[in-house]
Amino acid sequence: MSVLRGRWLLAPGVFWLVAFFAIPVAVLAGTSLMPRGIYGGVTAGFTLEHYSRFLDPLYLGILARTLLLSAICTAICLLAGYPVALGIARSGRWKNLLLFLVILPLWTSFLVRTYAMIFLLRDHGLINETLMALGITSAPLHLLYTRGAVLAGLVYGLLPLMILPLYTSLEKLDPTLLEAAEVLGARPLSRFWRVILPLSLPGTIAGCLLVFIPSLGAFLTPDLLGGAKDMMIGSLIQNQFGPARDWPFGSAASVVVMVVVLVAMLGWLRRRPEVL
């Protein structure tokens, strides 16, 4: 009887996720294989032209640039987030407060946080006004609408997603292992490199994935912070569903992104995701 109950409990969830997650992705895949209607929709038929169009250096270049930016963003988040995660894990009675302070930006609207960056980086924003007031610069620096601004926006937005899984991993670290290493004569750097780092690998991988994947699909940040000068794959996809009115091509690009995500995830899905 409990088996039956189990199944019924699962049904609504399965239905919803299949109907409104799995099927939409399938619809996208299907749309990507159909010819484009003249005004943007699809017409009946089967074609691989959208994928072959994607193999053009222009679009592959966009994908490559996006992958590069996402990789850099992930690396920066890792370098910046690791010490913070370590700090929280060792903070004793402050731990809960600090954790709350990490969760908070995570669940604050990404849009608001991006707008906050605009406010900071603009020519008459806080950073420039402070620099000029301190006499360090005499004219405003063009911080906004640059690739650097996009990177800064992505790092700022995604850093908490790196810190949390890292912290979870580090927190589970057995302190006796470190003490043993110290007793055996290992210096701090060696202890870090040979004990802490390898043992925190699950958290590191999880954090990297949680940063890499959203940055891959970002279109808001390049649009608002980058001055719309750079086309990332997220902007390309959004453009196809907007002004370019080419839904099948946009769907093909989305499928490509999904494939990249799944490939990245493959390694992680194999190991059980304990860090969530």
Partner 1 sequence: MRRAPRSIVALTTLGFITMHVPVLVLAVFSFNRSRYGASWEGFTLDWYRRLAERPDILAALKVSLVVGGLSTAIATTIGTLFAVGMTRGPRRGAAWLESLVLLPIVTPEIVMGIGLLALFATLGIALGITTIVIAHVAFSIPFVIVVVRARLAGMDRTLEEAAMTLGATGRSAFLKVTLPLLWPGIIAAALLAFTMSIDDFVITFFVAGPGSSTLPLVIYAMARRAVEPSINAVSTLLVAASTLLILGFDRLSPRRGS
Partner 2 sequence: MTTRREVLGGLGAALAVAWGCNRRSAASDDPALPLGPMETRLAIYNWSDYIAPDTVRGFERETGVRVTYDTYESNEEMFAKLQAGASGYDLAVPSSYMLPAMRASNLLAPLHGQYIQGRGAIAPLFRHPPFDPAEQFTVPWQWGITGIAWRRDLVRTAPSDWGIFFDQRWRGRMTMMDDGREVLGAMLKHRGRPLNDAEAASLATAKADAIRAKANLRAYKSAPVKADLIAGDVWIAQLWNGDAAQAALDQPAISFVLPGDGSAIWTDSFVLLRDAPHPRAAHAFLEYILRPDVAAKVADATGYGSPNAPALARQRHPVPYPSPEERSRLEYFEDLGAATELWDRAWTEIKSA
40 binds, among partner 2, partner 1, none (CB under 5 to 8 A by kind): partner 2
Residues 132 to 151: which contact partner 2 by CB under 8 A?
140, 142, 145
d(CA 151, CA 139): 23
Is 123 a binding residue for partner 2 by CB under 8 A? The answer is yes
65 binds, among partner 2, partner 1, none (CB under 5 to 8 A by kind): partner 2
Token couple for 126: 């806080």
Residues 19 to 38: which contact partner 2 by CB under 8 A?
38
End-to-end Cα distance, the chain: 31
116 binds, among partner 1, partner 2, none (CB under 5 to 8 A by kind): partner 1
In the complex, minimum distance from the CB of residue 80 to partner 2, in angstroms, rounded to a whole number: 27
148 binds, among partner 2, partner 1, none (CB under 5 to 8 A by kind): none
d(CA 252, CA 228): 22
Nearer to partner 2, 40 or 87 (CB): 40
Residues 37 to 66: which contact partner 2 by CB under 8 A?
38-41, 58-59, 61-62, 65
- Determine which residue in the list 80, 228, 265, 269 makes contact with partner 2, applying CB under 8 A: 228
- Determine which residue in the list 78, 120, 182, 239 makes contact with partner 2, applying CB under 8 A: 239
* Neighbour tally for 40: CB within 10 Å: 16
For residues 32 and 251, is the Cβ–Cβ distance under 8 A? yes
d(CA 26, CA 196): 42
- Determine which residue in the list 166, 209, 216, 236 makes contact with partner 2, applying CB under 8 A: 236
- Determine which residue in the list 122, 217, 252, 275 makes contact with partner 2, applying CB under 8 A: 122
In the complex, minimum distance from the CB of residue 27 to partner 2, in angstroms, rounded to a whole number: 14
Summarize as ranges the residues that interact with partner 2 (CB under 8 A). Answer: 38-41, 58-59, 61-62, 65, 122-124, 140, 142, 145, 226-231, 235-236, 239, 241-246
